[in-house]
Structure 1
């Protein structure tokens, strides 16, 4: 494992999803430990509001918008997390790239199992497309993205947008996404012990997210809950997929990226050796900072942004 990531792991609060109340407190502690004191940026206006009939979002609007918009969904196993988890990343994307970012505070399981979090993610994406002009964005240059559970929501939103003919998404930024409830991969069998994100936590996650109906006679997991179950991945927007080596989700992420590529979807795959799930939140580690740089570069390529555009910065 990367030495800096290993050293950071020793001081991190462990987030177990077994008890949602305790998990949320632990996630708040973890987010505070990793925050690094993200300051305001004079290049970006930040505003919290409620959209689409009740979905809380945080909108990051650069002073001189470059045109694109990213709808972003935080991680947390569908059980934990909020707008603060990804504040620094979203602020950096908006400031460095000049893009509008809409960060979504979707409802959490188990109080709100599927489809509630997904419906919030979908509603916020539809709202962003419908109100793009007022945000300073181009409705033809909207992407979805997220990490972990948020990456799964982004993939599911992209599937529904394809299935229903819109919004016309331009890109998917999928960071170690949650995709497959079947949990039948070598990496899922390999990573079973704390303190890393592990198979046991994945089991708790799916139990909370899919709710009590899971496993009942005749039950079939919906495609929009577990995007890996989609039989056809053709026609999706281009994707960037980040995969960490020491992650139980590793192999389902590899498989999804491969299936998209085989279906004709342009895919950029990044595999990071010696990294664990959510590693790019540990900005004290050089490998995490490189991952953030790579994500910004992927968005710049996807949106065809000139690195010299006012409000963007070159790598």
Structure 2
């Protein structure tokens, strides 16, 4: 791996992750389920916990908004966490959209979707879509502009964000203003050069990726929904402005490049940033590293331009 030197030094301090199995997954999950309280200390943020009706049980949501008088037209970030479809919770990587709350006064809504292998197939994306529709239906109550809903996620959450955006387009429901896909998990086939290149090395390896997809899909080999594996979508036209980023040293590099390329080919708008020397999730794991700071600043700049372009 040709890693950024600063990130390489940080990576050496991370504990070794054992090969993923059903048994080791049970041991790892508690460490991949953070709490939010430390991030909210000293921050002018109101927090509300909700549970809404889903297609198969309740879907938990956390709503975070700036304290003070509630505006009627704030932007909304719908956050979908990472974790390979098999771990994490709605507070995972939540520091990323909290920066957008600070910068833009955005209301952040984070969803807790069902995890594989306990839930398979379309269950996670269905949960995420349920939350998206609820946001649109309760825009006035949330104090948001329904035309300023941005769907964003990292890793598995990036793939689910892409799936939710496709679903909303195809069903003609929520008018999504933009999608932010950070190191997105888009393609179950693991057939790209980068998916082979990072076999046995990296924060998220080819073998880990295969395990995550196997947990989600079970024994399903065909009839896989593009809402689950968005790279399968035959038509990427009429999507909202899209921001895709990731590292050059990660499994998801080539599927991210392909997804952006196909959006361009369909006449759409996509900003693509592949950060040389970055590994999967580098800016979430080490946000103060120089490359991470550059990636976060560039993402914020794109969001600022997107929001500035919207009519007041």
Q: Same fold (TM over 0.5)?
A: yes
1:106-125 to 2 correspondences below 5 Å: 106-125=113-132
Q: How does 1:108-147 map to 2 (within 5 A)?
A: 108-147=115-154
**Does 2:194 match 1:194?**
no
Is 2:279 aligned against 1:276? yes
Matched residue, 1:46: 47
Instruction: Give 1:97 shift.
Output: 1.6
Shift of 1:261: 1.0
Are residues 1:204 and 2:214 paired?
no
Q: Is the 8 A contact 2:202 2:250 kept in 1?
A: no
Partner Cα separation in structure 2 for residue 46 and residue 15 of structure 1: 33
- CA distance, structure 1, for counterparts of residue 281 and residue 295 of structure 2: 11
Residue of structure 1 equivalent to 2:187: 180
Aligned partner of 2:10 in structure 1 is 8
User: Residues 5, 37 of structure 1: CA spacing in aligned structure 2 closer, same or farther, 3 A cutoff?
Assistant: farther
Aligned CA RMSD, in angstroms, stands at 2.3
> In structure 2, what is the Cα distance between the partners aligned to 1:161 and 1:17?
36
Matched, 1:168 2:175: yes
- Aligned CA distance change for structure 1 residues 52 and 40 (closer, same or farther; 3 Å): farther
Deviation at 1:243, TM superposition (A): 2.2
Q: CA separation in 2, counterparts of 1:126 and 1:41?
A: 32
Structure 1 residue 249 corresponds to structure 2 residue 243: no
Please state how far the C-alpha of 1:24 moved relative to its aligned partner: 5.6
What CA deviation, in whole Å up to 9, does each residue of 1:188-239 have, x standing for no partner?
1111013431111111011001123x23xxx222111111101110011110
Give the ranges of 4+ consecutive aligned residues of structure 1 lying more than 6 Å apart after TM superposition: none
Change over 3 Å in CA distance of 1:58–1:36 after alignment to 2: closer
Q: Does 1:70 align with 2:77?
A: yes
Aligned mates of 2:119, 2:293 — CA distance in 1: 34
- TM-score after normalising by structure 1: 0.89
Q: How big is the shift at 1:256? A: 0.3
Q: Quick check: 1:244–1:250 contact (8 Å CA) kept in 2?
A: yes
Q: What is the alpha-carbon distance in structure 2 between the residues aligned to residue 142 and residue 22 of structure 1?
A: 37
Deviations 1:70-99 (A, max 9, x none): 111000000000123123223222122201
- Structure 2 distance, partners of 1:100, 1:273, is 32
Q: Which runs of 5+ in 1 are unaligned?
A: 307-315
1:58 is displaced (CA, Å) by 1.1
Equivalent-residue separation in structure 2 for 1:21 and 1:74 (angstroms): 22
Q: Does 1:261 align with 2:268?
A: no
Report how far residue 284 of structure 1 moved.
Answer: 3.6
Separation in structure 2 between the aligned mates of residue 245 and residue 36 of structure 1, nearest angstrom: 33
1:26-63 C-alpha deviation (Å, 9 max, x unpaired): 3543676xx99524344321222212441111111123
Given that 2:49 and 2:60 are in contact with CA atoms closer than 8 Å, whether structure 1 keeps it comes out as yes
Aligned length: 301
The 3 A distance-change label for structure 1 pair 17 and 103 is farther
Out of 237, 242, 248, the residue aligned to residue 239 of structure 1 is: 242
- Do residues 96 (structure 1) and 103 (structure 2) align? yes
